[in-house]
A and B are shown apart, each in its own frame.
Chain A
Amino acid sequence: MNDLTPPPPSLGCRTSPVLKQRGQREVFCGLTGIIWLHRKIQDAFFLVVGSRTCAHLLQSAAGVMIFAEPRFGTAILEESDLAGLNDAHTELDREVARLLARRPDIRQLFLVGSCPSEVIKLDLSRAAERLTQQFAPKVRVLEYSGSGIETTFTQGEDACLASMVPVLPDTDACELLVVGALPDVVEDQMLGLLEAMGIGPVRVLPARNIDSEMGIGKNTVYALTQPFLSDTHAALERRGAKHIQAPFPLGEEGTTAWLRAVATEFGVDAATFEEVTQAPRRRARQAVAAAAETLRDKTVFFFPDSQLEIPLARFLARECGMTALEVGSPYIHDALHGPDLDLLPTGPQISEGQDVDLQLDRCRAARPDLTVCGLGLANPLEAEGLSTKWAIELVFTPVHFYEQAGDLAALFARPLRRKGILEAAE
């Protein structure tokens, strides 16, 4: 079955020394997750309690403004709210009541904490409790922090999902729970594969709406599809659920390993596994091979952004023939990232956290063929002659599981192909 998959490297990166620096971080805060979460959870509204900066971030990170009225907004704190916290609570109640009256389709409201709301110690958990009592059973009000002082970028999704875990009902059912927001098309593909192996019913967190939510208990087993869900992971363990450790389902190898871990847990026999995965594996390899022609023997340097960096480096190294020079991640958790680090051949500098000026110095010295970085750095590095891939696109594009493996490789190949075309014509 492993005919085409290379064996794991004799020495992976799990025990490689990690460079830890702190200084200026060129990353988004956790509020950014709202951009995709508000589309994924269709009956939810995300109300940021914050400043004009928070509203401006959401608008700028969304890039283009979304055509329909978005299911998020910012309650902007004003001078008077800072003076008295009781007044701020009253104001919040008023804004929420007005919002819910205008949007009767909203069933779940997330109050999202921000840097200013946390610094002034505006207690949103108290507000959520109070508002839940007021609007139950029609609307459930939860709160989490998306603030920059607590979270980076994708940790916002983690905080959101973690806030949902304690309110899910208890169950004794032995069910699989798949955790992580995936585009609907990818989620359906995944459910199709699991169903074909006879695994079911499968529950998904976040569910598309509140009515399709699931219970959790000691017999729940869960697998993560995103590498940034460490708080959710901890919250699920607290509920007694069991974690299936696996590499993340990015690329053919990652997807196969992830599915195999789940299949093993549910006692799927080898023949069934082979039958279900054979065709999509072949397609994934074929699609990746096309893009890998551009990527083979090229070097790649990751700035920390989404915590997807380690599994992506593993994919680029093992399936696309690239050499990773530095793999930076905002945070590294052994329980989550360990299986991918095992597969990543030793060599790259693994780094956690960031001092962006020092990291830029390293990047310029290394002259990688491809630099994966945030939007603030991409054009300046391009102007210095370094090809870049915007990291945020990896979060906003369907990249997980077999049928997207080729698209994932193509995302990295496109900047290099483009450079080739333009330079050849010069």
Chain B
Amino acid sequence: MKLTVWTYEGPTHVGAMRVATGMTGLHYVLHAPQGDTYADLLFTMIERRDHRPPVTYTTFQARDLGSDTAGLFKKACQEAYERFKPEAMIVGASCTAELIQDDPGGLAETMDLPIPVIPLELPSYQRKENFGADETFLQIVRHLAKPMEKTARVSCNILGPTALGFRHRDDVQEITNLLYEMGIEVNVTGPMGASPSDIAKMAQAHFNVLLYPETGESAARYCEKTFGQPYTKVIPIGVGATRDFIEEVRALSGSTAPISEDRNRQTWWSRSVDSTYLTGKRVFIFGDGTHVAAAARFARDEMGFEVAGMGCYNREYARPIRALAKEYGLEALITDDYLEVEQTIEELQPEMILGTQMERHIGKRLGIPCAVISAPVHVQDFPARYSPQMGFEGANVLFDTWVHPLVMGLEEHLLHMFREDFEFNDAAGPSHHGGHAPAASVSGRDAPVSLESKMKPEPVPNASGAQIIWLETAEKELKKIPFFVRGKARRNTETYAAEKGLGEISIDTLYDAKAHYAR
């Protein structure tokens, strides 16, 4: 038993729903109690889908448990088939139905429906959403994809995109265009956008482009083994990775078509003088393994940030993320415990968080800017505009999105210079985010004070165990430091004082520590 406040991943059957909802012509019959239908709103509200997810829930109740829940399942299956006339069905159990052991797959098999019925075994008490999506897509491919001759022209499949994926809609478009520029046709994109009959002809492709390993890697491995289709390993997020991806695809396809980088503005934007202020900004990166690895490379090599910490919530990626963190001189945080992530961020005091919707809330609480780079998603992660993360346009989008939450170059200096200005002070936050921060008044500095008190750590004991006391003048001086670095300054000063065995912190200690940590 594990106490959880917020979760990064939903249950396994939600992963299966992401596959089913992304596809067309497929229906999912889910053995589940009343209430599990809440999952529909993830798709209709967060993603603003204009159709109900193709899911029938058996909706059993307590009074059914003693009688015939298996009969209820078969009835739901039959009615779903007759009403929706799908090309294929997937059947499975949610966490509660798993306990009553009705065996939906076996039951459906006895019904002799005239379409393929694919049973899903998704252990709800061991695994999570990404596994559910990955396994569901694998089973669909295993059951439906047939050996076929390769297409005459070189072609590939795009694997991994699902409903409710972080920017999957636009990534697929960007990469499809890129492949087209390289003279490569996309045979099937799936699961999102594919029908069962599309899946059937996946073997026609010469190779696979795996965009989202979290949800597509098992299928990619299966296709490699069964149909001799190699798959791409580079995730084209960032300019460098996109170039590497192009090279990888060239090697797999023999394409020699030149690729224009006209649309790549990111590289110059990062080199333009206004970006100087981005240099060495300390960022903390957290999300799914794939997006974290890509973001770390982009952050350090293409934005000039310092990666102060990184980690992922999906344990399946613990090993590669640990290895990667080591390359960055860090220890990876592998956890799906939101409070642990919050604590780590509080300790590290980064200048920016690159995270998920969860970290956005942590950032709000701690007064640290945050840009979202990974699922779990929120309604605002489905923008109306074209907004990919991948390819050259994706790199442009990343630049804009990551810079937006920050206080910009000269503004940062002005805040240092005129910190007591009643309108233009650090409590007001970046000036281009009007209305985000509470209005500052001449007398009240409510916002920074409350932030401060939240961020204020417990008194730190020094080397001899005695507690360190901030002198009033030093405390006052600390308040003059802009809020977005104040937490870090406090922590650095206290660490410095503790190391030096000091019992109190004066203005001198504050500036000694500043010099000590100068970079």
Contacts and interface: CB of A to CB of B under 8 A. Distances in A.
Contacts of A120: 99
B33 A75 contact: no
Interface residues of B, number: 57
A357 interface: yes
A99 B339 CA distance: 13
Interface in A14-67: 22-32, 47, 49, 51-53, 55-57, 59-61, 64-65, 67
A77 B1 contact: yes
Given A25-B34, A376-B41, A380-B44, A56 B5 contact: no
A380 B52 contact: yes
A297 interface: no
Given A60-B38, A95-B1, A65 B59 contact: no
Contact of A24 (B2, B57, B95): B57
Given A26-B37, A60-B41, A55 B7 contact: yes
Contacts of A152: 34-35
A235 interface: no
Contacts of A332: none
Contact of B35 (A28, A69, A375): A28
Contact of B95 (A59, A75, A116): A116
Contacts of A30: 35
Given A53-B10, A74-B4, A374-B41, A67 B34 contact: no
Contacts of B42: 60
A295 to B, nearest CB: 25
A152 B60 CA distance: 12
Contacts of B41: 60-61, 374-376
Contacts of A64: 378
Interface stretch (B121-129, B202-210, B262-270, B491-499): B121-129
A25 B59 contact: yes
B1 A81 contact: yes
Nearest to B44: A379
B40 A376 contact: yes
Given A53-B94, A149-B96, A95 B3 contact: yes
B3 A73 contact: yes
A59 B6 contact: yes
Contacts of A374: 37, 41
Interface string B90-111: 0000111001100000000000
Nearest to B378: A64
Interface stretch (B148-156, B322-330, B356-364, B482-490): B356-364
Contacts of B125: 51, 77-79, 82
Chain A interface size, as a band, is 35 or more
A380 to B, nearest CB: 5
B413 interface: no
B61 A377 contact: no
Contacts of A69: 5
B51 interface: yes
Contacts of A379: 44-45, 48-50
Interface in B147-198: none
B506 interface: no
A119 B102 CA distance: 13
B32 to A, nearest CB: 8
Interface in A79-103: 79, 81-82, 88, 91-92, 94-95, 98-99
A75 B2 CA distance: 5
B23 to A, nearest CB: 17
A76 interface: yes
A92 B56 CA distance: 34
Nearest to B96: A115
A76 B1 contact: yes
B101 to A, nearest CB: 10
Given A77-B125, A380-B50, A23 B11 contact: no
Nearest to A62: B6
A264 to B, nearest CB: 39
B365 interface: yes
A382 B50 CA distance: 8
B315 to A, nearest CB: 14
Interface in B105-148: 123-126, 128
Given A53-B11, A53-B124, A377-B52, A28 B1 contact: no
Interface of B: 1-7, 9-11, 13-14, 33-42, 44-45, 48-52, 56-62, 64-65, 76, 79, 83, 94-96, 99-100, 123-126, 128, 357-358, 361, 364-365, 378
Given A115-B35, A116-B99, A149-B62, 10 more contacts: A23-B79, A27-B35, A30-B35, A55-B7, A60-B41, A65-B361, A76-B1, A76-B3, A99-B3, A120-B99
20 contacts: A29-B34, A32-B38, A51-B96, A53-B94, A59-B6, A74-B3, A75-B1, A79-B126, A92-B1, A95-B2, A115-B95, A147-B62, A148-B34, A149-B60, A149-B61, A149-B96, A150-B62, A357-B79, A376-B40, A380-B50
Closest 3 CB pairs of A and B: A29-B35, A148-B35, A376-B40
